[in-house]
């Protein structure tokens, strides 16, 4: 009988997982980080430890390890979310940037002082720059400080560090390929990274949530897992095709899916896959650990450990002070971040993979990570005693200056309307410019060559390619050159005679930018002279067809914002007040109810249960949308709006059992909604001026605008094209105004 041969890849995988299972169970019992267990398991089955069986084909394991990095970064992206980055605030961003820049410098100087090469020193700085999210969260939970003030700052810093680490991977890869520090190459790499980040993020948010939403009824756990992993691998392939690392592609796709309603479910489904391949990755890291190399370089391990502990604590504390944090919060944050972790392994592995770092850097990084993992809880505990010691050492004048600076920074933290407008203006300009430039580059680099291979390479083909590209660019060019960004704010600033010169400059800048982009497009298809002439003509065409461009752009904007806010809206849907997912129910006030004569304001039903009183029927009198001072009397019939859960809770307030007082729909007063279109007479009017309350004998209880939900909007709210208004009022009047809006659309 012929003996079957089992491939080494399978036996090696079994050996790896077996060793990992035994060691990690031991580490779980010892309450130590599992990452260290994986590293030790890798050492035990690696080529430098011969007591146990050794992996036969380590090269094959590197393929599994590469998959592990992809799924680790994909999962990190799912937890990341660009919304979190926008919410961390300036303080965490400034602290993280100062800390990373400081450790890059300290790591480089330390390496050079020890006689290392420039490349080894640069990678050492990268390894020391990024702290471990996993270790910090575990330490915070064990010490019970997760709810402390400084913990929020630390989590914000970690979010920024994740993004910085991705940028570092790109820059270090560029540096490793060029083998020299070329400033222009670095700037081009960062510009290319920003371009693709914005393009991928915009495209992903625009298409993916819509795709997943339309396929929702087919999305069970199996299909969702396969779909999300397929999207991840596709983005990995795309990132690699344009010259970035696979890890970047995985991270970007994770961060895009993090904005969808499936984020938590995907994270749960992918967890098993991530744990499996993540274990293989960390075990493969441990296989590279050479004790002989460590013994030969024990002094650098000691030096770098001290540099990590004190350098990260110092640079983070300085960064926090610069950002306006108090001395105590700064020291606590610095002591918490004094370790290296998962991203450090990935950066060190990058150097080994690209063969640009020495053999000793990797085991040194692993050893330093292991030591600083054990010291992290002690460093956190030492933060408060160190702060108390610092208050006795630092001169009183220094402490007063720090307190004054912190108070001033925190008081200035609330941005003015003008600052918010300027920030929004530049973000909007950056987004539109990036999308337009990306369309040009993709068209000239891929679309035009594709058309030329299918058709004749002549003037007609070139013109066809230019026209198709121009049509794709048109709505974004219109938004850049013609549309007034936040028109209401501009008009208010203009009335206040505030920064009129800058406002005029902003308008001119965007027009010139649009002309440049058009010229940039045409220059890639035609001669510069033709490009300049046609650029002016295209701007004139955009002005002539401004209304059509406006409608098309608003549809694109609405789709993007709806998708971008979909997860947040879905998450808050159960907690939202009427009108979303709500209905109207009626109840009769019984004579023995104990709150007869109490004003609605004091009953506070909206605050308690989330319901709104839409109508009170008292005998032959009907009170639509009663005021907060209105009182309730025996046998009043009230119509309230709420979700099923909210109304069930509210029923208990009235002491009505579930099988009694069944709600009945009112035919006269109803809850309706409709979309306000561009040509509607309601556009650019406040709710008060539009007289919509008087016309419907009702009240506007909600507005959906640009992907956001506004509950019970103020009467001075300005109605915009595309807004969805939710109104409680007279049925016939509401149906009439709804019909009018539908006719406007047609």
pLDDT in tens, 183-201: 566 677 777 777 777 778 8
pLDDT at 523 over 70: no
Q: Which of 341-355, 403-417, 563-577 has the lowest average pLDDT? A: 563-577
The per-residue pLDDT for range 67-84, each reduced to its tens digit, is 888 888 888 788 776 666
The per-residue pLDDT for range 210-254, each reduced to its tens digit, is 888 888 778 888 888 899 999 999 988 988 887 777 877 888 888
Find the Cα–Cα–Cα–Cα dihedral 278, 283, 286, 287, rounded to 10°.
-130
Contacts of 682 (CB under 8 A, 6+ apart): 676, 690, 692, 719
State the Cα angle at 715 between 710 and 716, rounded to 5°.
95
Comparing 237 with 348, which gets the higher pLDDT? Answer: 237
User: What mean pLDDT comes out for the span 535-545?
Assistant: 67
User: What mean pLDDT comes out for the span 482-498?
Assistant: 64
The per-residue pLDDT for range 121-133, each reduced to its tens digit, is 888 888 888 887 7
Q: CA of 463: how far to CAs of 448, 473, 533, in Å?
A: 10, 15, 15
Average pLDDT, the chain: 76
Comparing 489 with 510, which gets the higher pLDDT? Answer: 510
Contacts of 201 (CB under 8 A, 6+ apart): 82, 252, 255, 256
Q: What is the pLDDT at residue 583?
A: 67
User: What mean pLDDT comes out for the span 671-693?
Assistant: 80
Q: What is the pLDDT at residue 31?
A: 75
The per-residue pLDDT for range 295-314, each reduced to its tens digit, is 888 888 889 999 999 999 89
Q: What is the pLDDT at residue 576?
A: 42
- 122 contacts 59 by C-beta, under 8 angstroms: no
Closest C-alpha among 650, 640, 582 to residue 615: 640
Q: What is the pLDDT at residue 306?
A: 92
3-class DSSP state of 638: strand
Q: How confident is the model at residue 552 (pLDDT cuts 50, 70, 90)?
A: confident
User: What mean pLDDT comes out for the span 404-412?
Assistant: 70
Q: What is the pLDDT at residue 604?
A: 78
pLDDT at 656 over 70: no
In whole angstroms, give the CA distance from residue 616 to residue 116: 82
Comparing 624 with 469, which gets the higher pLDDT? Answer: 469
Task: Quickly list H helices, 307-360.
Answer: 312-322, 327-336, 342-353
Q: What is the pLDDT at residue 87?
A: 62
Q: What is the pLDDT at residue 574?
A: 40
Q: How confident is the model at residue 667 (pLDDT cuts 50, 70, 90)?
A: very low
In whole angstroms, give the CA distance from residue 625 to residue 609: 18
Q: Which string of b and e fits 572-601 if b means at least 16 CB within 10 Å? A: eeeebbbbbebebbbbebeeebeeeeeebe
The per-residue pLDDT for range 697-706, each reduced to its tens digit, is 777 877 887 6
Closest C-alpha among 339, 373, 301, 288 to residue 39: 288
pLDDT at 738 over 80: no
Closest C-alpha among 523, 340, 544 to residue 440: 523
Comparing 589 with 584, which gets the higher pLDDT? Answer: 589
User: What mean pLDDT comes out for the span 524-534?
Assistant: 63
pLDDT at 573 over 50: no
Q: What is the pLDDT at residue 662?
A: 39
In whole angstroms, give the CA distance from residue 309 to residue 67: 32
Q: Which of 18-22, 247-251, 446-450, 667-671 has the lowest average pLDDT? A: 667-671
Alpha-carbon Rg for the chain, nearest whole angstrom, is: 31
Comparing 49 with 330, which gets the higher pLDDT? Answer: 330
Half-sphere exposure of residue 455, counting CA atoms within 13 Å on the CB side? 15
pLDDT at 682 over 80: yes
Q: What is the pLDDT at residue 664?
A: 41
User: What mean pLDDT comes out for the span 584-594?
Assistant: 79
The per-residue pLDDT for range 424-465, each reduced to its tens digit, is 777 778 888 888 888 877 777 777 777 777 766 666 777 777
Closest C-alpha among 51, 40, 55, 76 to residue 283: 40
Closest C-alpha among 398, 402, 390 to residue 321: 402
Comparing 360 with 709, which gets the higher pLDDT? Answer: 360
Q: How confident is the model at residue 392 (pLDDT cuts 50, 70, 90)?
A: confident
Tell me the two tokens of residue 1.
């009988």
Global pTM? 0.66
Q: What is the pLDDT at residue 86?
A: 63
Tell me the two tokens of residue 240.
């690699």
DSSP class of 484 = P
Q: What is the pLDDT at residue 665?
A: 41
The per-residue pLDDT for range 135-186, each reduced to its tens digit, is 787 677 667 776 677 777 887 788 788 778 877 877 777 777 666 555 566 6
Comparing 64 with 105, which gets the higher pLDDT? Answer: 105
């Amino acid at each position: 009988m012929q003996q079957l041969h089992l491939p080494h890849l399978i036996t090696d995988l079994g050996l790896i997982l077996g060793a990992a299972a035994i060691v990690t169970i031991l580490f779980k019992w010892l309450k130590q980080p599992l990452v260290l267990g994986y590293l030790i398991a890798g050492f035990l089955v690696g080529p430098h430890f011969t007591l146990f069986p050794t992996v036969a084909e380590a090269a094959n394991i590197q393929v599994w390890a590469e998959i592990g990095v992809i799924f680790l970064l994909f999962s990190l992206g799912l937890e990341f979310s660009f919304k979190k980055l926008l919410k961390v605030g300036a303080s965490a961003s400034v602290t993280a940037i100062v800390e990373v820049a400081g450790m890059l410098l300290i790591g480089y100087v330390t390496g050079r002082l020890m006689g290392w090469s420039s490349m080894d020193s640069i990678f050492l700085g990268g390894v020391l720059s990024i702290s471990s999210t996993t270790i910090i969260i575990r330490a915070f939970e064990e010490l019970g400080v997760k709810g402390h003030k400084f913990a929020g700052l630390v989590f914000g810093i970690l979010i920024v560090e994740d993004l910085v680490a991705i940028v570092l991977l790109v820059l270090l890869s560029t540096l490793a390929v060029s083998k020299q520090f070329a400033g222009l190459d670095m700037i081009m790499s960062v510009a290319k990274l920003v371009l693709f980040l914005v393009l991928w993020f915009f495209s992903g948010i625009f298409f993916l949530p819509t795709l997943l939403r339309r396929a929702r009824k087919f999305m069970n756990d199996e299909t969702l897992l396969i779909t999300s992993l397929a999207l991840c691998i596709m983005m990995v392939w795309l990132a690699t095709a344009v010259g970035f690392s696979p890890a970047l592609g995985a991270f970007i796709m994770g961060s895009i899916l993090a904005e969808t309603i499936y984020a938590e479910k995907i994270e749960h489904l992918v967890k098993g896959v991530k744990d499996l391949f993540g274990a293989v990755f960390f075990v493969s890291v441990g296989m590279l650990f050479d004790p002989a190399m460590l013994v030969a370089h024990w002094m650098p391990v000691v030096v770098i450990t001290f540099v990590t502990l004190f350098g990260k604590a110092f640079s983070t504390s300085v960064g926090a002070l610069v950002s306006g944090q108090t001395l105590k919060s700064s020291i606590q944050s610095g002591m918490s971040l004094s370790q290296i972790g998962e991203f450090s392994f990935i950066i060190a592995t990058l150097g080994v993979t690209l063969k640009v770092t020495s053999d000793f850097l990797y085991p040194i990084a692993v050893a330093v990570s292991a030591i600083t993992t054990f010291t992290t809880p002690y460093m956190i505990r030492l933060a408060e005693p160190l702060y108390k010691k610092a208050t006795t050492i630092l001169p009183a004048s220094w402490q007063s200056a720090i307190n004054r600076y912190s108070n001033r920074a925190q008081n200035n933290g609330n941005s003015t309307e003008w600052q918010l407008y300027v920030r929004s203006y530049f973000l909007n300009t950056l987004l539109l410019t990036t999308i337009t430039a990306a369309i040009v580059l993709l068209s000239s680099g891929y679309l035009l060559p594709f058309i030329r291979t299918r058709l004749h390479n002549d003037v007609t083909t070139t013109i066809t390619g230019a026209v198709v590209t121009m049509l794709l660019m048109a709505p974004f060019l219109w938004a850049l050159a013609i549309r007034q960004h936040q028109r209401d704010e501009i008009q208010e600033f203009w009335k206040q005679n505030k920064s009129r010169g800058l406002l005029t400059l902003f308008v001119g800048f965007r027009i010139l930018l649009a002309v440049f982009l058009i010229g940039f497009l045409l220059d890639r298809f035609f001669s510069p002279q033709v490009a300049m002439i046609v650029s002016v003509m295209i701007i004139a065409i955009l002005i002539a067809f401004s209304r059509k461009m406006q409608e098309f752009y608003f549809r694109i904007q609405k789709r993007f914002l709806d998708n971008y806010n979909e997860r947040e809206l879905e998450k808050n849907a159960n907690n939202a007040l009427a009108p979303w997912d709500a209905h109207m129910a009626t109840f009769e006030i019984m004579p023995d109810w104990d709150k007869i004569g109490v004003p609605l304001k004091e009953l506070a039903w909206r605050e308690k249960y989330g319901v709104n009183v839409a109508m009170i029927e008292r005998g032959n009198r009907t009170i639509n949308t009663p005021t907060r001072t209105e009182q309730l009397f025996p046998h009043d019939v009230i119509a309230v709006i709420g979700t099923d859960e909210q109304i069930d809770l509210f029923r208990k307030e009235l002491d009505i059992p579930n099988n009694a007082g069944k709600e009945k729909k009112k035919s006269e007063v109803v809850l309706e909604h409709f979309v306000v279109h561009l040509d509607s007479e309601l556009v650019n009017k406040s709710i008060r001026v539009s007289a919509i309350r008087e016309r419907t004998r009702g009240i506007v209880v909600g507005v959906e605008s640009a992907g956001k939900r506004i509950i019970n909007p103020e009467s001075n709210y300005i109605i915009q094209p595309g807004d969805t208004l939710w109104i409680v009022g007279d049925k016939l009047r509401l149906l009439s105004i709804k019909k009018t809006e539908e006719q406007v659309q047609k």
